[in-house]
Amino acid sequence: MSKINELMTTRAKAWEDAKAFLDSHRNDKGILSAEDTETYDKMEKEIADLTREIERQQRADALERQLSAPTSTPITEKPEAKKTDDKTGRASDTYKNAFWNQMRDRSSIEVRNALSEGVDTEGGFLVPETFEKNLITALHDDLIFRKLAHTFTTSTGVHRIPVVASRGVASWVEEAGAIPESDDTFGQKSIGAHKLTALIKVSEELLNDSAFDLEGYFRDEFTKRMSSAEEEAFLIGNGNGKPLGLFTDAEGAEVGVTAASATEITADEIINLYYSLRAPYRKKAVWLLNDSTIAAIRKLKDNNGQYIWQAALKEGQPDTLLGKPVYTSVSVPGIEASAKTIAFGDLSYYWIGDRQGVTFKRLNELYAATGQVGFLATKRVDARLIVPEAVKVLQMGA
């Protein structure tokens, strides 16, 4: 059994012990004594510590796999059998080599000629296609919400999506009676392209060092800067220069339940939120909430005395709430007055459109006094919830 599975088994046992402790030490009013509350808090802290250790071990395993990957490719063909570059445009090896030479400022006529196919309208050069695909993959791995949403790439300025605004209905009519007309009406949702930028600075010494992995450095730094900005916009963006977030009032998820309290959530309210979502959307529905909210609801029970939150038992599986997977993001609002703090639904109805073409612009003079070269990275992306009824949220009381 792997270290992670051992930790998950230990965490599951600790959670069962904590539940048993709660059941056996509550008084007739359902309240713990001060001493028992202190004991339970220690048990809950152990569960939280185990959760953090599991996540730490998962990151360590991922890093170990990355460092164990081969650093070179074996020679499998005769030296005289020279490969030909059958790719064109930004996908070609010629363009890729010219791009990174330009980033290192090893300019030549050949470099400029190759890069003429990727000149951006705002200056700078479009990155090679392989780098762009790797970059999007890195963003996907770094963001929990990108994994749950529907993503696509578009080369057009505005992507229009037809949606059903209202549905027709069937009617009972008398024999030979007039048949009322009832047709579906259609609307459109538009996904444009908001600009997301990051400024990356590299010392001149590193740029001149051929052993420095400039491509990997750009990918890692770009991912760090963009991932948190994207996740926040996808969840709480207001649409002004950024995407419309899942939790926004305008065209975001519909309110399924409004809590009676501004500071507490009950098990009944969680269950009501579950059933406020129509059955077709519940098939692939997941929960999305803040870590602090989990701490508030993991003690809740249903009307049968069963805890509604269950810890995962195997590596790679999420915890569950009422049998549905639970995912967390720091960008989801916490528990406070009028906040939309829990989302439940099929998040594949949230569409993320990546505009084709990521740009790097080299800034030679701006940071010359400090011996650095700036690189302005630009990415265009937009997103919105296409079908608001596919996701329901719980809103706290005023």
CATH code, domain carrying 311: 3.90.1690
Same domain, residue pair 127 and 115:
no
Return the pLDDT at 114.
47
Beta-strand pair 391-395/254-258: parallel
| Chain segment 333-355, per-residue pLDDT in tens | 999 999 999 999 999 999 998 88
Residue 76 covered by a domain = no
The pLDDT of residue 117 is 47
Is residue 65 a part of any domain in this protein?
A: no
**How many Å apart are CA 141 and CA 215, to the nearest integer?**
18
Quick one: 332 and 191 in the same domain? yes
Judge residue 34's burial from the number of C-beta atoms within 10 Å of its C-beta, 0-12 exposed, 13-18 middle, 19 or more buried. exposed
Does residue 247 sit within a domain? yes
Q: Say yes or no: 313 and 344 in one domain.
A: yes
How many CA atoms lie less than 13 Å away from 190 in the CB half-sphere?
Answer: 7
Per residue in 356-390, is it b (16+ CB within 10 Å) or e — as a string? Answer: ebbbbbbbeeebeeeebbbbbbbbbbbbbbbbbbb
Domain check: are 322 and 384 in the same one? yes
Are 305 and 159 members of one domain?
A: yes
Which tokens sit at 14?
A: 């600790």
Q: For residues 106 and 108, what is the distance between their CA atoms, to the nearest angstrom?
A: 7
Q: Is residue 34 part of a domain?
A: yes
Helices (H), 181-266: 204-208, 214-236
Verify that 112 and 240 share a domain, yes or no.
no
Same domain, 106 and 236: no
Task: Please identify, among 40, 60, 80, the residue that sits at the C-terminal boundary of a domain.
Answer: 60
Burial of 395 (0-12, 13-18, 19+ CB in 10 A): buried
Same domain, 395 and 343: yes
Cβ neighbours, 10 Å, residue 131 = 20
Angle at 94 between CA 92 and CA 99, to 5 degrees: 100
Cα–Cα distance measured from residue 99 to residue 170, given in angstroms and rounded to the nearest whole number: 60
Look at the chain and report how many structural domains it folds into. Answer: 3
**Domain span including residue 93:** 88-119
Query: Is there a single domain that holds both residue 236 and residue 256?
Result: yes
- Predicted local confidence at residue 274, as pLDDT: 96
Question: How far is Cα 182 from Cα 159, in angstroms, rounded to an integer?
Answer: 29
The reply to whether 199 and 344 lie within a common domain is yes
Do both 373 and 331 map to the same domain?
yes
Asked whether residue 71 is assigned to any structural domain, the reply reads no
pTM of the complete model beyond 0.85: no
Pull the structure tokens for residue 230: 């994207």
Q: Pick out the chain residues at pLDDT < 70.
A: 1, 69-86, 88-90, 102, 105-129, 131, 134, 136-138, 140-142, 156-171, 176-177, 179-190, 210
Gap between the Cα atoms of 31 and 364, Å rounded:
66
Q: Determine, yes or no, domain membership for 178.
A: no
Residue 327, in any domain of the structure = yes
Tokens of 139: 């963003």
Within a domain: residue 77? no
pLDDT per position as a tens digit, 88-127: 666 777 777 777 776 776 555 444 454 444 555 555 566 6
Q: Are residues 104 and 127 in the same domain?
A: no
